[in-house]
Every structure is written in structure tokens, then in C-alpha cells.
Structure 1
Amino acid sequence: MNRHPATEADQGRPTAAPFATVPLVAVYEMRTLRTDAEREKAAALVQDRLRWLTLRGLPVPAQANVPALFRAPETRSAGLFEDGKLLACLIPQLDPGLGWGEGPGLFLGCVHTLPDRPDDIMRLITLWASDFAARQDLPAVRAEILARHPLEADPIAALLRRLTDMGWNIRGSGTGRGGDRVARLDLAAEHRSGLSTLIACRVHAPETAPDDRGSA
């Protein structure tokens, strides 16, 4: 069978290469803080956040040295990163016997965010925590936030409205683990397909804290 001769254009055309699949890199990463440098960054973030709250006359935890918790390796704290920049830090634990909430759960202790974009960062933490709890076969996420004033009064009321818009449920108020008056919140665990393309997760399986550390 006769073959058509190649044209001059065909003779000079390079062979097409197959499409390469470029691995997706998540924009954010939540990971256990494993080095002294990372833990020191977290302690500095907490100090900056507490200073920001104090300058605005907003409540800060009564617990004397929250930054020290993040410097201690045994705390097993975690951080949310974007391109190596620490956006938030927290202490993920199994429900440490809060006295409220039914059944097991993931407790987020001492959650601190950068002051300049707290709502955006909390949305990311909410998505990650809900998915992480589901992957640990835990039905719920729980947290406590400072609430020195009645829950229906600002500034706590405005914060709670934003958190409920993110999916959190308010479970009243009471004395928190650190001795402060707090608002109690929980969030349903939910597998979130595809979240790993937004937030990579390298967090240790949560454990019950050996002692009763407070939540900021």
C-alpha cells in the first residue's frame, strides 16, 4: 500500500510529547509543630495575638503563660501554614472531660490566629477540624472561647454570629478548662472530599491531655 509522502512542514514538526500530570500542591498545611523553631513561632504568634487583644480592651486568658504551652514539645501543638508562614496555632486533643457535650470528640484548645484576618483563618480551621475529626471516627469537634460578657452582648455576640455562620453550634456558657468564663461550641464532623487540595494535613492522632490545660 502506498504511503503519502511527508510534507516539508511535517518533516520539520517535532514529535508531540504526552501531557504530564503535575501534582497538585495544597495552598495551606495543618501540621504538628515538630521543631523548636516552629514552636517558637507559635509562641510568638500567641504573644502578638494577646497583645493585640489587650490594646483593644478585649479579654485575654487568665492562665499566666499560654505561650509556654506552645514551646513545650509534650503539648503536641499544631499550626496552620501558608507558604511557610504560620497563620494559626492550636492544641488538638481528644475530648479531655469538659463536663459538657455528649460522647467522644476532638477538642481544639488554645486556638490563636493572626490578628489581621481571623475570620478567613477560622473558616480554614473549621473545614480542617470537621474533616479531621471524621477521619478519626469522632462525631464532633468542640471548642471554648472567652466570654466575659453575656453571650448576647458585643463583642462576643458578633463573634458567635460569625462562627455559627461557619457551622458551629453554641452550647451555652460556663467555666472553661482554664478557669475563665467561656462560650461552648461544637461542630459536626464531616468528611470533606477534596479538601486535601486546599489544606494538606500532617497532624498526629489526637490524645487526651495528661493534665488540665486551659483553652484561650
Structure 2
Amino acid sequence: MSLAAIYEVRTLRTDAEREEAAALVQDRQRWLTMRGLPVPAKADIPALFRDLQTHPAGLFEDGKLLACMIPRWDPDLGWGEGPCLFLGYFHTLPDQPDDITRLITLWASDFAARLDLPLVRSEISAHHALEAEPIAALLRRLTDIGWDVRGSGPGREGARVARLELTAEHRPGLSALIGCRVHEPQPAPDDRANA
């Protein structure tokens, strides 16, 4: 008898799950604003998590949503060479430990490798220089768990972002910790013309 994984990353299946993800995003944006931290520029990110066509995914522990994101296959972001798994709009519950980000990092690296993609890329809002606090502290934590900072510049939405890259790596034993039931990522609608 196999034991169920402690965590699960899965495509959000129901309206209720997508609504819960939208609420998590709103809570996180409010938390960032109250601390004077950069908030992603896109006006209605919560609506993206309500949209069935975006195939949002979430990290769950015992049915509780801890984080959400929109994983996409991207043929070329414009700032990194070659195809990748792009984690868009990644949000965690406010006041959660870095362990959630570490779990997503492990999962994303393994998931990209299983999709035969060499890299995972993501972007975080960076309205100030990357060396300035509090963004510098966040970037240090991300590099400590395996992400590489690839500079800053305009992101997918046009706002200034820190560009992040992670090498894909098969992690055979990871499924005992993190189950995965995510749809195979599709290109974003605006990427399909370029694919």
C-alpha cells in the first residue's frame, strides 16, 4: 500500500478552488502593499486565477491551498534563450515560511525535466534596484534554494521585474513528498502565434 504524498501540486479543478486562489492572490497583494513591497503591475491578476483557460495550479497540504501559480510552456520569453517552463503569477499565503517556495522550486525543477524542458523561469516585481532592500533579501533567499538571478528589465507585462531561472532536474523520490496532477502547460494565448 503506497502512502499519499504530504503535498500536492495540481491544476485547479473547480470554481471554488479557482476562487480560493483568487482570494489568496488578493490577500498576498494586500500583504505586500502594507509592507511597501512591489506588487505585480497587472491590474487584475485574481481574474486570471478564476479563468479556466489559464489552467492555474496550486500547492495543497491536506486540502489547504498554500500557493498558486500559472505554469506555461514558453518557447522564448525574450530575455532567456530557448524554451522553458514559465511560472507566472506565483503567490503564497501571506506570512508563510520559505518552505513553500522551496517545495515549489523542487516541484518545478522536476516537472520541467519530465516535460523535457531545460529550465524553469519566473519573474518577480522589482521597482527598485535589485541590490536595494527588501528585494535583495528576497533574491538572496531564492538563490539559496537554487534560483539564478538573470538581471532585471521589462517582464511579460512590461513592468520592471527581476528575472529568475532554475535548471530542470529529475528528482525521482520527490513524488513521495509532492504529488503532481498538473495539466501539461500550454503556451500563453499570445505565444501561440509564435509557437
TM-score after normalising by structure 2: 0.95
Q: Does 1:176 align with 2:163?
A: no
CA deviation string 1:46-91 (max 9, x = no partner): 0100011111111112211110000010011100000000000000
CA deviation string 1:179-215 (max 9, x = no partner): 2110001000000011000000000111101037xxx
Structure 1 CA distance, aligned partners of 2:190 and 2:46? 17
Runs of 4 or more, structure 1, over 3 Å off, are: none
Give, as a single letter, the amino acid of the residue that structure 1 aligns with 2:51: A
Q: Does 1:190 align with 2:174?
A: no
Query: Structure 1 pair 147/118, CA: closer, same or farther in 2 (3 Å)?
Result: farther
Alignment-derived partner of residue 143 in structure 1: 122
Q: Does 1:73 align with 2:65?
A: no
Contact 1:131/1:189 (8 A) holds in 2: yes
Alignment-derived partner of residue 40 in structure 2: 61
Note the residue ranges of structure 1 that are not aligned, 5 or more in a row: 1-21
Structure 1 CA distance, aligned partners of 2:80 and 2:190? 19
Query: Structure 1 pair 83/68, CA: closer, same or farther in 2 (3 Å)?
Result: same
Contact 2:76/2:82 (8 A) holds in 1: no
Higher deviation after alignment, 168-177 or 115-124: 115-124
Alignment-derived partner of residue 7 in structure 1: none
**SS of residue paired to 2:98:** helix
Aligned positions of 1:22-41 closer than 5 A: 22-41=1-20
Contact 1:96/1:209 (8 A) holds in 2: no
Aligned positions of 1:56-205 closer than 5 A: 56-95=35-74, 97-205=76-184
What is the Cα deviation at residue 97 of structure 1?
Answer: 3.3
Larger Rg: 1
Higher deviation after alignment, 60-69 or 79-88: 60-69
CA deviation string 1:8-61 (max 9, x = no partner): xxxxxxxxxxxxxx3211000000011101100000000100011111111112
Alignment-derived partner of residue 211 in structure 1: 190
What is the Cα deviation at residue 96 of structure 1?
Answer: 5.4
Structure 2 CA distance, aligned partners of 1:167 and 1:121? 14
Query: Structure 1 pair 118/176, CA: closer, same or farther in 2 (3 Å)?
Result: farther
Question: C-alpha root-mean-square deviation of aligned residues, in Å?
Answer: 1.1
Structure 2 CA distance, aligned partners of 1:84 and 1:209? 28
Higher deviation after alignment, 37-46 or 53-62: 53-62
Structure 2 CA distance, aligned partners of 1:122 and 1:211? 28
Structure 2 CA distance, aligned partners of 1:96 and 1:178? 17
Aligned residues with identical type, % of pairs: 76
CA deviation string 1:115-139 (max 9, x = no partner): 1215111000000000000000000
Give, as a single letter, the amino acid of the residue that structure 2 aligns with 1:87: L
Note the residue ranges of structure 2 that are not aligned, 5 or more in a row: none
Alignment-derived partner of residue 17 in structure 1: none
